[in-house]
Structure 1
Amino acid sequence: MQPIFDFFFGQYYEYPTLFIYLEVIAVIFGFLSVWYSKQENILVYPTGIISTLIFVYLLWQWELLGDMMINAYYFAMSIYGWYIWTRKVDATHFTPVTKMTKREHVWSILIFVATLLFVFGVYEYFEKWNNWTAYVDTITTAIFFVGMWLMARKKIENWIFWIVGDIISVPLYFYKGLTLTSFQYLLFTIIAVFGYFAWKKSLNKNLQPVLK
């Protein structure tokens, strides 16, 4: 049992206790945020803000710049999403789940490419191209940037980006030594699949004609 524990959590022996506690708190609130997103519950944003703020601090300490920028971006988009989700489209209805428009497809591509170039520039400036994870980190950052933007706009396609990014992040974070965060992304993947079908059900309900 001890070898198994050491395999998954051995890297934590060298971490400050404060960092371990903070990562646990961030993982819990991150899980809650994704769960509330699946439920179309506005609590997705306050819980997400707490999680992202903690991760920004931790990732800065661990010098994982791409991951840190993802969480800083999440924080900003959480404020934007909070506004969009609480905005009423008429006297009684809030912003519904919808599909991406052609314009949003174009914007998604632009955000993806712009993020790749930006993260590449950051890694280049700080001379952080010292591991293959930096290249994967650049791609996942771009994927998550698009996913978060689409989630804030309540587009069902956001879940596809989350699923792809989460699947990549599970082994990536485990390799980086962040086992708890790796497990978090594994749970995120599962919830994202259920979230997609839950939002699809909501979308189909919104598209049904009103029977008179």
Structure 2
Amino acid sequence: MIEFLFSQYNDYSTTAIILEIVGVLFGLASVWFAKKDNILVFPTGIVSTTIFIYLLWQWELLGDLIINCYYSIMSVYGWYHWSRKKGDEIQFPIASISRIEKIWSCVIFVLTIIAVVVIYDFFDKFTTWYSYVDTLTTGLFFVGMWLMAKRKIEHWIFWIIGDVISVPLYFSKGYTFTSIQYLIFTIIAIFGYIEWKKHLNKNQQKL
């Protein structure tokens, strides 16, 4: 079983393995803080995405690299957005997506897929089935990150769908630790949605 799961790492450098594990741990911490509606989701996420930007460049996984670059940028925006207050009150608490945000979510999803397809085609990366799946997960995660930065509960739905797809996707690529990370992400995201839903319902009852 161990050989089946981790034989892919036989040719990896110790540095790359350690960096992947550290990136995974900070990624898990980030999702856990997101579940708790804690602003530490962003600094921990930045550490994880920075590590994976380096690794994904080495692995030549352009779609995933683009996702992590975008995560880093949106984490800075989200960090600022979540920290804004009016007096002692949080200016942008947990909320549901608005109609205009639904439209923008669709626009971001479509434009992201088009951009990834163009990039993959330019670099002739459509050589395996998971290159095509990458285009879908990139679109899902771009929308999910945008909604999370805006503190919208629906971001969890995009995370869950993207995480479920990513579990077998990363395993097939040979990155077992990252695959396990996405499996745990899925579980945390489900509970995160439930916890945010309770919080949202509680706030709505106060109004």
Separation in structure 2 between the aligned mates of residue 120 and residue 14 of structure 1, nearest angstrom: 30
Q: Give unpaired runs (5+ residues) of structure 2.
A: none
Is 1:29–2:26 an aligned residue pair?
A: yes
2:104 matches 1:107: yes
How far the C-alpha of 1:209 sits from its partner, in A, is 2.9
- Whether 1:85 and 2:73 are equivalent positions in the alignment is no
Match of 2:70 in 1: 73
Q: How far 1:112 sits from its partner (Å)?
A: 0.1
Q: What is the percentage of aligned positions where both structures have the same residue?
A: 59
Q: Aligned partner of 1:98: which letter?
A: A
* Contact kept? 1:45, 1:81, Cα under 8 Å: yes
Post-superposition offset of 1:87: 0.7
> Given the two structures, how large is their TM-score scaled by the length of structure 1?
0.96
**Does residue 1:49 correspond to 2:77, yes or no?**
no
In structure 1, what residue type is equivalent to 2:11? E
Pairwise CA RMSD: 0.7
CA distance in 2, matches of 1:169, 1:128: 18
Unaligned runs of 5+ in 1: none
Structure 2 Cα separation of the partners of residues 71 and 101 of structure 1: 26
Cα drift, residue 93 of structure 1: 1.1
Residue type of the alignment partner of 1:35 = W
Aligned residue number for residue 11 of structure 1 = 8
Match of residue 93, structure 2, among 88, 91, 96: 96
What is the alpha-carbon distance in structure 2 between the residues aligned to residue 180 and residue 106 of structure 1? 35
Deviations 1:85-123 (A, max 9, x none): 0011x2221121000000000000000000000000110
Q: Distance in 2 between matches of 1:105 and 1:29?
A: 30
Residue 61 (structure 2) pairs with residue 64 (structure 1): yes
Q: Please give the alpha-carbon distance, in whole angstroms, between the structure 2 residues aligned to 1:126 and 1:206.
A: 49
2:186 aligned with 1:189: yes
Hey, what's the Cα distance between the residues in 2 that align with 1:92 and 1:54? 35
Distance 2:151 2:203 in 1: 13
Secondary structure of 1:68's counterpart equals helix
Q: For 2:150 and 2:186, how far apart are their aligned partners in 1?
A: 20
Would you identify which runs of 4 or more consecutive aligned residues in structure 1 move more than 6 Å?
none
Q: 1:158 aligns with which of 155, 164, 173?
A: 155
Q: Structure 2: how far apart are the matches of 1:54 and 1:128?
A: 23
Q: Number of matched residues? A: 206
TM norm structure 2: 0.98
Equivalent residue runs for 1:130-141 within 5 Å: 130-141=127-138
| Whole-angstrom distance in 2 between the partners of 1:87 and 1:114 | 29
